[in-house]
Amino acid sequence: MPRRCGEGEPARENPPETDAEAKKPAPAELLAIHIHPGTAQSGPLHPELKSLLALWSRMRGERIMPARDDLPLQILQPWLGHLALLEPGPASFGIRLGGSELVARFGRETTGLTLAELPADIRKGLYAMIDLVHARRVPVVAASSVRFEDRRTLYSDLLLPLSGGRFRSTLLLLGSYPITVRPGGSVV
């Protein structure tokens, strides 16, 4: 009988037979934690973010996560406008690179800002995702509802850990796309 698995951990019929099997990472799709800020619902994943998650998984190979050098800008080109590269700073995470399409998501240009400079509701959701990534060292999927002026937009977010070596996540890659959820649950 399968044992109950923890969040983000794939179910196994039996414990691993060898140390090598125990250390082999599971596919990213099984490890990704799905959250929706304020609820236990899964966030929908935009099709472009599904392909980014697949790339992240391929580039990590047998490791827990890929290194930043494994994902040069040339490889990330299809997603660049929707990506932000976050790095820890002394008081807050800094946004080293903020894609042009994220201006609508964050309400302003973000390159060079810290998360502390973003609106409180946006910052709170991002820190919830960051806490999960750092605790579990796995991708996090979330849905975020953002309101600017009189318009509310739903975003599909994917936060990916990138290592600087020794299994430490030193940088985070955030992908965010506006979405429409059709009846039946499909995401556009």
pLDDT bucket at 169, cuts 50 / 70 / 90: low
Q: How far apart are CA 20 and CA 36, in angstroms?
A: 34
Quote the pLDDT of residue 152.
80
CB atoms within 10 A of CB 24: 10
**Considering the domain 33-179 in this protein, what is its CATH number?**
3.30.450.20
Q: How far apart are CA 139 and CA 132, in angstroms?
A: 9
Q: For the chain, which residues make up each domain, given as ranges? A: 33-179
Answer left, alpha or beta for residue 34, where phi above 0 means left and psi between -120 and 50 means alpha.
beta
Q: Is the pLDDT of residue 124 over 70?
A: yes
Residue of 78, 67, 65, 66 lying closest to 175 (CA atoms): 78
Mean pLDDT over all residues of the chain?
78
Tell me the per-residue pLDDT of 46-95, one tens digit each, with 9 for 90 and over.
999 999 999 999 999 998 899 999 999 999 999 999 999 999 888 889 99
Alpha carbon 103 to its chain centroid, in Å, reads 18
The DSSP secondary-structure symbol of 4 reads: P
Q: Is the pLDDT of residue 21 over 60?
A: no
Quote the pLDDT of residue 80.
96
Strand partners, 172: 86, 161
Q: What 3-state DSSP class applies to 181? A: strand
